[in-house]
A and B are shown apart, each in its own frame.
Chain A
Amino acid sequence: MTASRASAAAPRELPADGVAMQSPAPDYPALAGVYDEMVGLDGKSRDVWATFNRWLAETPAADQALHAQRIERLVYENFSDPQRGRQMWRLDLVPIFIDGSTWALIEAASVQRAQLYNALLADLYGDRNVLEQGLLPPPLVMSDPNYLRPLLGVHPQEGHLTFLALDFARDPSGNWRVIDAHTETPAGHGFALANRMVLGEVMAGLFRQSNALRIGQFYQSLSDDLLRRAKSDDPTIAVLSPGPETASFIGHSYMARYLGHLRVGGSDLRVVGNRVYLKTINGLRKIDLLVRSVEGRRADPLELSPNGFDGPVGLVGACRQNPGLVVNALGTAIVENRGLSGYLAALAGHFLGQDLIVPDSPRLWLGEALARDHVLGSLDRYVIHAAQEGTGNPGAASRGRYAPRLSPEDRSRLETDIRFLGANLVAEEPQGFATAPSWTADGLKPEPYALRVFVAAIDGVYTVMPGGLAITVDASETVALSSEESRSRDVWIVSEGTHSPSVSLRRIAAQSVQRQATALQSRVADNLFWLGRYCERADGTLRVLRQTLQRSAADLALPASYRPFTALRALIEDDPAAVIAAPVAPEESARWMHEICCSETLPQGLPVTFANIREIAVQCRDRLSEDNWRLLTALSAAPMVSRMAASHGDAPAVLPAASLPDNALDLIEAADELLQLLAAFNGMSHENMTRNTGWQFLDLGRRIERAYWLAKLLLELFQSAEADELEGDDMLFALQTADSYITFRSRYRFAPQLHLVLDLLMIDETNPRSLAYQLASVSAHIGNLPKSSGDAVRAPDQKLALDLLTRVRLADARELAATRQEGGTRALLAKLLGDLIVELPHLSQLVSRQYFSLADEQPQRLHPQAVP
């Protein structure tokens, strides 16, 4: 390495012939006869890798491993999909370095492609000269389900194509080809952005030294230009993406958040009279521009695919009225058709009067009889692929069918498909791939790769993002497929010239968030409200569990009838009448604890609550800060939840105390950790979220849940005044569980008395844990939410909130504590708490009905009626 270090340390400004070739890392096993990005055929490292080689030589292997781990962790924390519980893709420590002249070629080829596809789209959705003149066989277009006939004649003023991504690959001799074009959705941007964020952080020093181009300005300009195109003073721009159940969701919502646009689903929108509206808590709000991240044919169930509900009903009509409304325009997937490959050169001549700068992979479209016969005659040479893949999600391409690898039945099926469905198939002889170095703990290894390049129309000019997304590919394949856990690399363009002032990614992210002050989406309000409720539910449940376990661990002699054990019922039972009527059988409490920790179905249990938090967090991904997202991912990534379940699963009968297993301490520790994370999330949202309507819904949910929980707990503990030798301990339990013990001690320096405890936990509005405090917050929030009319009359939700608050305010703690019925029930207390337990869910429903009802609408298709 010494030689390498010495030469690599030479200043980069030296003319190329001075330090033209760096020695490679000595242990890099470049493949013989295969073009490698880092190492030339002469075995020497290319100039553009000099900075990296120096870094590699100077960085001990252990430090490299630490960097790799850090990358792994950051990718996981920020971009894993908690709903799937797995990492969606991996990022290599080694970026791919591309020099200025290579990049100039890629850039020119990409811009040419964008112009060509845009012209072809205008033609295919217009006069169709290319079909009439025989430049393209009509069945190629007509057999593609992505040719959206209802869009014929709809011409966006600024072109059909705003976003385009191209997958480039080199063959083993180093010649470039395009293996796929992605014209349908801006797929992959999210991953490219994420990779740069992570690598830019972990490898910050190397990035600075290498003089690589920044990508921030590209997105800044793009975001600005979309605002311009929205043509409104106060524009609403939304990214229309499929739901969290799809693999591309994280990428799309990450891009939406980064560009500062709303992320919406089809059911968040509604078309009224040819205009598209967003459902918000203030009613419908007009959308000025939709960035389309859903498949075009699934974007309008009325005029396009009848089963596609990814867009709002009537979107095609809205596009006829305003062709620039949706970018990319509906129908752009038609030019992704791989069957076009053989016709592109002629089309480039026809539309641009140019030669194709970088050709497609050589492919045969099997709709042509000659091609079909030829391929059937020498099937073993070709990989057969669908002409239309329909997704640009990196790694989602399906494997081709390669006859030598097929069983006799599959081979015969392939032959039949070629004969009858040839118009939807292409054949290609595998071309092979060049390699680039990939980091492993044992040193660099060459890996075949493809390079995704992103193009966007900015101010009417196709502009290439100066970076990209490199994807590891299977060398025997013809398209950029990859495993589910795609391996990817960042792409660093090293330019010789000086850089224009560039904007860092993080600065844009911060700015763009403020750009749009938009009315809150009904769905988002709904999600935030329930996020508040579920987080608070988890908090309350964990507090009761922790106190209960601590007591059992501390005093093994406690009887099963010990009331804090029975208080577990408060977590499960939602009917106050049941609490009042039914005494607790001691053995019940053990079962409850087990259920609360382990049950996958109990709605109040921890597994379900954390699953709900996880689901909502994914849906709100674009609304959560990085920090909040990390916290929620940590909460729901569930090592601790599963630990609780695991340590508990084998030994359901924790209680009574006599049989307390050793793992009680484990459980307490797990509860502690989870409570800390919840506290961090609450604190973060309290400190860092702006006090807008979104925050109000989050806090409203939290307050309603906390009041509900506290009312149930107090009812369970104190409604019965019987056999009260342990009541002192119950009070201590209530104070500790409700986090008010210190307050109580600082006020009253003697053993708790019930009326003082009830006053502090119920009526004292200065105690942020009291019922009255929660209800006062609830009432204030509801009062501040937007109302549909300026009525002087209070809405039902306002009335009920005020009523509940007033009832608690007017209560007298002494009376609550003292008044008893026959049988020892504290009647006043039971009545007040029982009313709250019944009315708080009612209040929650009223809020839902008023603000989230629009979010609940799910369209359905009218059954077509058969023609006899």
Chain B
Amino acid sequence: MPRYIVSHRTTYSYSSPVIQSHHLMHLAPRVVPHQTNLRHSLTIEPAPVWRSDRVDYFGNPVTLIAIEDEHRQLSVRAVSEIAVTLGPKPNLTATSAWETIATGGNAGIATEIVEYACGSRHARASRMLYDFARPSFPVGRPVLEGARHLMARIHKEFRFDSTSTDVTTPVETVLKQRSGVCQDFAHLMIAGLRAMGLPARYVSGYLLTYPPAGQKKLEGADASHAWVGVWAPETGWVEFDPTNDVINSGEHIAIAHGRDFDDVSPISGVLLGGGQHSVAVSVDVKPVS
């Protein structure tokens, strides 16, 4: 069973002092079938005066903190050790025809699954997304076959470009400009699936990366990652990564699930003071032998 230590450091620097801040963090790995969470630690500087660890609506561990010390820098370091199990490869062709699941034909599907077919702030249905997703879903195609088709198209037709979008870019813009980052591709695929009436969810986490042959892996060279969960009655949730055109096969470490990025943002917060701020993030995923 492969084990990994994930170290995720975030440092916010402020141009003027922060008098008080509240933060909400999704940094601890959630419980998922193919992962065992061995340990997790969260180090926050300056020390919060108040901290509450809960499980949120979507079943993710969440940490809420308040800092009352005046500060110009916030540093957060999350370290998690996780064992990953490889399940059987899902049989995509054996899943139900997509139209039997789509909204309208979804009576009998549990509420918490139907919820993911409903629009959310960053991923809601529209004519444009429907027109985009439609070719992947001819009548009778198994739902996960359709999802794989859609994933492959996004990978093929879209260019990875970290300068072309930011967190507020709507999927319609991503669709028009045909470029974005993993978060955009995840939102795009989710919104396309929802336009077809299908349940799809956002998964945030990490992806194990390998250095080019013969080179040593650099510290902090990894990054947070985002991909998509698609549901079929036969398989449950299966994870599709449109950025890399792969179905999760043990190199994706999930941290949180939600309707879109807003539900699982690693660190969000509200500050009193602070002026301008900048952020530095480094992620390191290290296999443990």
Contacts and interface: CB of A to CB of B under 8 A. Distances in A.
A143 interface: yes
Contact of A862 (B126, B165, B224, B267): B267
8 contacts: A138-B115, A303-B24, A306-B268, A861-B270, A864-B265, A865-B10, A867-B182, A867-B183
A149 B260 CA distance: 14
Interface stretch (B49-57, B138-146, B232-240): B49-57
B30 interface: no
Contacts of B118: 139, 142-143, 423
Contacts of B70: none
B274 interface: yes
B23 interface: yes
Nearest to A144: B118
A317 B121 CA distance: 23
A865 B267 contact: yes
Interface in B197-252: 204, 223-226
Contacts of A648: none
Contact of A272 (B68, B114, B115, B269): B68
Interface residues of A, number: 43
Contacts of A857: 19, 272-273
Interface of A: 128, 131-132, 138-139, 142-143, 145, 149-150, 152, 270-274, 301-303, 306, 313-314, 317, 367, 369, 416, 419-421, 423-424, 857-868
Contacts of B162: 866, 868
A865 B167 contact: yes
A832 B27 CA distance: 63
A152 B121 CA distance: 19
B168 to A, nearest CB: 9
Given A272-B66, A273-B49, A862 B104 contact: no
Interface string B124-147: 111100100000000000000000
A317 B182 contact: no
A862 B270 contact: yes
B270 A866 contact: no
B45 interface: no
Contact of B111 (A131, A152, A301, A313): A131
Interface string B63-85: 01010100000000000000000
Given A150-B56, A868-B225, 18 more contacts: A302-B22, A313-B22, A314-B66, A317-B64, A420-B125, A420-B130, A421-B124, A861-B268, A862-B23, A862-B268, A862-B271, A863-B277, A865-B267, A865-B279, A867-B181, A867-B224, A868-B162, A868-B181
Interface in B19-40: 19-24
A860 B167 contact: no
Contacts of B223: 867-868
Given A139-B114, A271-B22, A273-B50, A861 B183 contact: no
A132 B111 contact: yes
Nearest to B186: A867
B103 interface: yes
Q: Pick the most buried of B119, B223, B266: most chain A CB atoms within 10 A of its CB.
A: B119
B119 to A, nearest CB: 6
B98 interface: no
A338 B117 CA distance: 21
Interface string B258-285: 0001100111111111100101010000
Nearest to A369: B104
B225 A867 contact: yes
B268 A142 contact: no
A143 B197 CA distance: 13
A155 B75 CA distance: 35
Contacts of B224: 867-868
A148 B177 CA distance: 33
A626 B104 CA distance: 57
A142 B21 CA distance: 31
Interface of B: 10, 12, 19-24, 49-50, 52, 56-58, 64, 66, 68, 103-104, 111, 114-115, 117-119, 121, 124-127, 130, 162, 165-167, 181-183, 195, 204, 223-226, 261-262, 265-274, 277, 279, 281
B285 to A, nearest CB: 14
A139 B103 contact: yes
A603 B181 CA distance: 49
Q: Pick the most buried of B68, B127, B262: most chain A CB atoms within 10 A of its CB.
A: B127
A142 B268 CA distance: 23
Contacts of B182: 867-868
A866 B186 CA distance: 12
B48 to A, nearest CB: 10
A229 B95 CA distance: 55
A866 B165 contact: yes
A145 to B, nearest CB: 8
Contact of A302 (B266, B270, B272): B270
A296 to B, nearest CB: 15
Nearest to B129: A420
B114 A274 contact: no
Contacts of A270: 20
B111 A138 contact: yes
Contacts of A865: 10, 167, 266-267, 279, 281
Contacts of A143: 118-119
Q: Pick the most buried of A302, A367, A416: most chain B CB atoms within 10 A of its CB.
A: A302
Contacts of B181: 866-868
A799 B272 CA distance: 30
B270 A859 contact: yes
Contacts of A867: 181-183, 204, 223-226, 261, 266
A412 to B, nearest CB: 10
Q: Pick the most buried of B52, B119, B125, B270: most chain A CB atoms within 10 A of its CB.
A: B270
A862 B20 CA distance: 12
B199 to A, nearest CB: 11
Contacts of B165: 866
A258 B90 CA distance: 65
10 shortest interchain CB distances as A-B pairs: A369-B104, A862-B269, A149-B57, A867-B183, A142-B118, A313-B270, A143-B118, A138-B111, A142-B115, A420-B125
Contacts of A860: 270-271, 274
B239 to A, nearest CB: 15
A138 B57 contact: no
B267 A420 contact: no
Contacts of B270: 301-302, 313, 859-862
Nearest to B269: A862
Contacts of B271: 859-862
Contacts of A419: 127
Given A142-B115, A416-B127, A273 B66 contact: yes
Contacts of B117: 139
Contacts of A142: 111, 114-115, 118
A606 B257 CA distance: 58
A316 to B, nearest CB: 9
A377 to B, nearest CB: 16
Nearest to A134: B107
A427 to B, nearest CB: 17
Nearest to B64: A317
Contacts of B279: 863, 865
Contacts of B204: 867
